[in-house]
Every structure is written in structure tokens, then in C-alpha cells.
A = this chain, B = another copy of it.
């Protein structure tokens, strides 16, 4: 973890890999590292698909160790979707494997001249970069299968599907899970298009012959990890709700709270919600011989994922997450779980952000292209993306572009990125995060739903503006720190409620790196990350005017609470005025 792998895809004579010390980036991991490199090295005015843009893939500071939940990975770039900085976060195996191989980050730079596409193989002996046009326009599942045939089953893969190759704005980057399936995605912000523009189809990692990363103080680390796991397992959300039902436990909760965006953010409750709830989903999974509880990476103890089989008991997809179920469910008026699972599979395979794609389908329904509730139409639309037809390319370009192409006024985006699964009028704290996060609308950037709805980390009335700015600010700072550790954001539920669990995390970091970080230091760390991100965006031309929700959230009340977004602009402008 003291070296960075830089691959110049545009080097004379073909792609060239160089391993360099972390140098000035030492001490930074995950999001802190990707955002530092983006902020320092990428010209803010560059075209996101140009040779000047870079794609940075970085495990967290704790990834590759034995600490639980440390398998998240950060992908950084100038976003083709937002035009601003992007850190897109994923689970799966590659974070641990990359860390064990000793890399703090892979940085893809430059751009090859021709149309060849490349596979990159990395193991303890080094790096091999090979053009392989037989991989062209394969889906993620197929390309991973090919790699398994070539390299065996002890690998972990990072790949793009057809969407990334086509450089579509909603293109994701897929990370394989414990079963070597491409089901974990850095979904948001179109980082797949950047990887596609670099001509890289897949990065294959093999950590055979490496060992777990050794902490500086193994005993203290081991002790802290025990407390860490115990804390996670004793909290209601991370110990019970998420393992049992997965993230989709939220469908009934958010729907009940009146914050479940329905029919392109027209209503706050969906009549069909119960049919696509986590409870129904888990039941179906168990009945069909899938799994209702499953971790996306080794070392996960929350295990919010699952395996979703089709009616015949064959694997269809991993358990679709709450935001995915919602994006194709209530947002599009679809209440059939199998339809949603098929959409999840297709989008994983083609390599698409499920939130962006679902919201985009909702926008086409608003435009009259499909009727709300037309599941078959939605599936056909996503298949079009894989084919690269003009219609498919529009949808694959995300909600903002699709809204422009079809002349739609109600387009739920901030900084060009689609709003996730919580209506900002009924959950005003998350509205502050959507509006102000440097990432564009992103629930994970400061998950105020926890406090507004779940009562985690205190209580703040979701329907009123009071306290939301402070809530979002604190969560955005904390999240920037957690994202830098490689820790799953769901650990925050336990951290927010249990001081001893937060202390366990601090102990893990300190024992691993020989540091003496305090709680106050983590706040400074988070602020430093956000400051770099905001600075990049400012240099890219963003102002406070982009820290706003679409105006219809202020002018059109949403039922059942009949509320509008009430946090005013002056308050929004105070989020980063700490």
C-alpha cells in the first residue's frame, strides 16, 4: 500500500505501466486518495473523455487487512455525467485483493490512439497489458467468464460492459463479488465511460502468493476488530435489519414515511410498495433456493446482500438493493419483483448505474414514451442500451440528457446526476445532501435518512427545515472519512449510535498505521477531503447555483404530507461553512 500503479494508456508504442511511491499522497486511502489525485492532477476544464482525464481506483486505508467491513473501493475521476469531481464507491472483492497486492491505487492515464481494447492482468509478479478485441462489446458477465477460463477462479475483476465501451454517461464499473460475479458497481457519475475512453475493458487481479496486510500493532488491531464486529452485530440496523432483509428493508419504511418517490417524484407513496418490499424479496429468495443473507466481500459481517433466483430456481442476479428496487419500482410504477430483478441483471451486465437508469426510464414515462408500470417496456428499453441503438444511447446517457432530448420539464437531477430513492420534500435532510454534495445528488454522501427516518444518531424531524443543514454537514464529513478507510458506509449506523464502536474504528486505523488519530482528527480528515472536492468543482466552474434542487421540489408539494422542500438557499450555502 505504499505504491501507486500508473498506467499510461496513450504511451508511444502502447500502454505503459509504472509503479511509483505514494509520495505526497501517503496517508490517504479510498476517497481521500482518489479525490486528491483528481484535484491535483486533472485539469478541471478538460473533457471527461479526453486523455487529460484520469481514472483512479483505490482501496481504503484498512482494505486488505483482517478488519471487518473494509472491502469498499473508491473510483475517482472527472465525471462525464456531472462535469465535476467524482468518487464512486463499490463493494466486492477487488479492494481487498488490490490492497494485498500492495497498491494504494491504480491510475489509468492518457488515451490509446486506435480502437483496440485492453485487458490488464496484475499479480504479485507484475502487470501485463494486452490488447484483446475478442472482448469487444461483451457484457460484464461474459467478460468475467472469459477471464475465469484464462486465469482460473482465484481472481477478482474490475470491468466495463457495453455501456462503458460506448462511453455512455450512466456507465458503471463492475467489481466481482465472492462468487466472481460482476454484481458490485461503482455506479454513479459515469466512471465506466472514462474507463471505456481509456480503452480498458477489464482489470484482472490475482493475489495468489500474497498475505493479509499486517497492522503495525497486531494485538491492538485484533482487539479493536473484535469490538468493531461486536458493535456492528449488536446494533439493530447492522445486526438485524440489514442481514435479514437487506437494504430493501427500507421500502416499507420509506413508503410508510411518505418519502418513497413514485411516478417520477410525483407522489410520496406507492400502492405497489409491499409487493416489492425487502420482506417479500427475502421470502422469494429463500423459497427459490437463493440466499437472503450474503456478504459482497470477504470480511463482511453485515451481509446485506443476497442471491436472487428466477422462478425455476436458477441464478438471475444478486439481491437487488433498495435503491435499485425503488428506481425501477415506485419511480416507474412497477410492482413486480421478477421484472425488477431482470432489470438489475441487465444493468449489471451492460454496466449501468441502476439509480440513473431507473430514474431515466421514469423520465421517459413522464415523456409518454412508455406508460408508468410498463415492466416489459422498461426491460426492452434497457436491452436497447446494450445494443447501442439511438434510443438506447439516449437512455444510457442518463436522466438529464434524456430530459433534454424528450423535452421534459420535471427531471429529478442535481449537477446532472439523478436523485436517489428518498423524496427530499419528505426527508429534508437528504435533500440538503442531494443539493450540496460535490458529487451531485447522492444519498450515500451524507445519509440523513438515518436520523430523519430511522432515528439513528438522534432525531431531526424529516418534514421541517430545522437542523437539516447541520445534520447533512456532519454526515458528509463523517462519510468522507469512512469512504477513505475502505469501510462500508453501513457501519455508520452503529458508529452514530455507539461511541465504543466509533472508538473501535479509530483503534483499527491507529493500530494499522501506527497513528494516534482522535475523533477530532477524523473530522479534519473528512473536511480536508470535502475541501479538495469543492475546490475542484469551483475550478471546473461550479457555484452555489449548482447546489440546488430542481425548482419543482419547491413549487410542487408531495403527498401524503403535502410538503415542499423548505431548506432555503441561504441555509444550503452554509453546509460547508464550518
Within 8 A of B (CB), among A516-561: 539-546, 548, 550-552
- The answer to whether A393 and B393 have CB atoms under 8 Å apart is no
Q: Does A168 contact B (CB under 8 A)?
A: yes
**In the complex, how many angstroms separate the beta carbon of A357 from the nearest chain B beta carbon?**
15
- How distant is the Cα of A407 from the Cα of B80 in the complex, in angstroms? 9
Q: Which of B394, B541, B544 contacts A393 (CB 8 A)?
A: B394
Q: Does A401 contact B (CB under 8 A)?
A: yes
- The answer to whether B166 and A551 have CB atoms under 8 Å apart is no
Residue on B nearest A391 in the bound complex, by CB:
B390
- Which residues of B lie under 8 Å from residue A545 when comparing CB positions? 44-45, 539-541
- The answer to whether B548 and A407 have CB atoms under 8 Å apart is no
> Looking at the complex, which of A47-55, A126-134, A267-275 is the stretch in contact with chain B?
A47-55
Q: Does A212 contact B (CB under 8 A)?
A: no
Residue on B nearest A408 in the bound complex, by CB:
B49
- How distant is the Cα of A168 from the Cα of B401 in the complex, in angstroms? 12
- Which residues of B lie under 8 Å from residue A167 when comparing CB positions? 407
**In the complex, how many angstroms separate the beta carbon of A205 from the nearest chain B beta carbon?**
27
- The answer to whether B540 and A409 have CB atoms under 8 Å apart is no
- The answer to whether B540 and A407 have CB atoms under 8 Å apart is no
- Which residues of B lie under 8 Å from residue A543 when comparing CB positions? 541-543
- Which residues of B lie under 8 Å from residue A405 when comparing CB positions? 168, 390, 393-394, 397, 401, 405
**In the complex, how many angstroms separate the beta carbon of A428 from the nearest chain B beta carbon?**
19
Residue on B nearest A544 in the bound complex, by CB:
B541
Residue on B nearest A47 in the bound complex, by CB:
B409
Residue on B nearest A168 in the bound complex, by CB:
B407
Q: Which of B166, B389, B540, B550 contacts A47 (CB 8 A)?
A: B550
Q: Does A469 contact B (CB under 8 A)?
A: no
- The answer to whether A52 and B551 have CB atoms under 8 Å apart is yes
Contact flags (1/0) for A443-485 with B, using CB distance below 8 Å?
0000000000000000000000000000000000000000000
Residue on B nearest A397 in the bound complex, by CB:
B405
Q: Does A36 contact B (CB under 8 A)?
A: no
- The answer to whether A551 and B43 have CB atoms under 8 Å apart is yes
Within 8 A of B (CB), among A394-425: 394, 397, 401, 404-409, 411
Contact flags (1/0) for A291-320 with B, using CB distance below 8 Å?
000000000000000000000000000000
Contact flags (1/0) for A156-170 with B, using CB distance below 8 Å?
000000000011110
- The answer to whether B166 and A407 have CB atoms under 8 Å apart is yes
**In the complex, how many angstroms separate the beta carbon of A554 from the nearest chain B beta carbon?**
10
- Which residues of B lie under 8 Å from residue A49 when comparing CB positions? 407-409
- The answer to whether A393 and B409 have CB atoms under 8 Å apart is no
- The answer to whether A397 and B391 have CB atoms under 8 Å apart is no
Q: Which of B50, B169, B404, B552 contacts A409 (CB 8 A)?
A: B50
Residue on B nearest A43 in the bound complex, by CB:
B551
- How distant is the Cα of A52 from the Cα of B393 in the complex, in angstroms? 30
Q: Does A191 contact B (CB under 8 A)?
A: no
- How distant is the Cα of A390 from the Cα of B140 in the complex, in angstroms? 26
Residue on B nearest A115 in the bound complex, by CB:
B368
Q: Which of A45, A46, A393, A407 has the most CB of B within 10 A?
A: A407
- How distant is the Cα of A390 from the Cα of B390 in the complex, in angstroms? 6
Q: Does A197 contact B (CB under 8 A)?
A: yes
Q: Which of A404, A409, A543, A551 has the most CB of B within 10 A?
A: A404
Q: Does A441 contact B (CB under 8 A)?
A: no
**In the complex, how many angstroms separate the beta carbon of A441 from the nearest chain B beta carbon?**
16
- The answer to whether B197 and A407 have CB atoms under 8 Å apart is yes
- The answer to whether A169 and B47 have CB atoms under 8 Å apart is no
Q: Does A173 contact B (CB under 8 A)?
A: no
Q: Does A90 contact B (CB under 8 A)?
A: no
- The answer to whether A404 and B407 have CB atoms under 8 Å apart is no
Q: Does A193 contact B (CB under 8 A)?
A: yes
Residue on B nearest A550 in the bound complex, by CB:
B47
**In the complex, how many angstroms separate the beta carbon of A86 from the nearest chain B beta carbon?**
16
Q: Which of B197, B393, B404, B541 contacts A546 (CB 8 A)?
A: B541
- Which residues of B lie under 8 Å from residue A406 when comparing CB positions? 393
Within 8 A of B (CB), among A334-390: 389-390
- How distant is the Cα of A541 from the Cα of B394 in the complex, in angstroms? 26
- Which residues of B lie under 8 Å from residue A45 when comparing CB positions? 545, 548, 551
- How distant is the Cα of A393 from the Cα of B407 in the complex, in angstroms? 10
- How distant is the Cα of A93 from the Cα of B311 in the complex, in angstroms? 68
Q: Which of A47, A393, A405, A545 has the most CB of B within 10 A?
A: A405
- Which residues of B lie under 8 Å from residue A168 when comparing CB positions? 405, 407
Q: What are 16 A-B contacts defined by CB distance under 8 Å?
A: A43-B551, A47-B409, A47-B552, A50-B552, A52-B551, A193-B407, A197-B409, A390-B390, A390-B394, A390-B405, A393-B405, A393-B406, A397-B404, A401-B401, A539-B545, A541-B542
4 closest A-B pairs by beta carbon, nearest first, are A541-B545, A167-B407, A390-B391, A390-B390
* Given A197-B409, A390-B405, 15 other A-B residues pairs in contact with their CB atoms under 8 A: A46-B551, A47-B551, A80-B404, A166-B407, A196-B407, A390-B391, A390-B394, A394-B405, A397-B404, A401-B405, A405-B405, A540-B545, A541-B542, A541-B544, A541-B546
